[in-house]
Amino acid sequence: MEIKLKPVAWVKNTRKEPIDDHWEAITSEIELADDVPTEAFEHIEGCSHLEIIYYFDQVEQNKIVFSGRPRGNPNYPVTGIFGQRKKDRPNQLGLCTVVLLEHTGRTIKVKYLDAIDGTPVLDIKPVFKEFEPKGEIKQPKWVPDLMKNYWQ
C-alpha cells in the first residue's frame, strides 16, 4: 500500500541544517500552503500547545535505518528505530509538541519545533489534556544524556 500526502504548511526559521542540538533558540513560523484556506487556523490561539507532524524531506533514502546506536554514540545501546527519535526513519515522519506563541492570518509562530527551514508540515493538531499520557512516563537511562543539549 502506498499513501500519498501533501503538505498543509511549511516551516520558516533560521535553521538550515539538521543539527541535533540547541533547538531552544529557534523560533519557527508555520505558514499554510496556498491550497489550504485561512480558516484552518480559526480559533487555534485557544490552544497553548500544538503537535506538529512533519516530513524529513532531506533524509537520503540510503541513510534510513531500522536500528543503531542513537547518534552513533558507542555509550548507548543498539536500539530499534521505534525506540528512538532519529530522523532517518522508514517513513521520514517527525512529530514535535510546540508552544504556540502567536497566530496572525495564515501563519503561526511556535517554539520548540525541531524542524529546519523549508520543512513540509503534514498536519497540525491541538494538544488536549485528555490525550496526554496517563501514568508515569518511562524512558531508557541514556535519554537524559542524549537530550542534555537539545533544547539549549
Domain boundaries, given as residue ranges, for the chain: 9-147
Mean pLDDT of the chain: 95
Homologous superfamily in CATH for domain 9-147: YaeB-like (2.40.30.70)
Confidence of residue 151 (pLDDT cuts 50, 70, 90): confident
Q: pTM of the entire structure? A: 0.93
CA distance between the termini of the chain = 40
Per residue in 71-92, pLDDT tens?
A: 999 999 999 999 999 999 999 9
Q: Is the separation of the CB atoms in 108 and 100 below 8 Å?
A: yes
Strand ranges in 8-65 using DSSP code E only, listed in sequence order: 9-12, 27-32, 49-55
Question: Which sign does the torsion angle of CA 126, 49, 131, 66 carry?
Answer: positive
For residue 22, pLDDT beyond 90: no
Q: Is the separation of the CB atoms in 122 and 9 below 8 Å?
A: no
Rounded distance between C-alpha atoms, residue 83 and residue 118, angstroms: 27
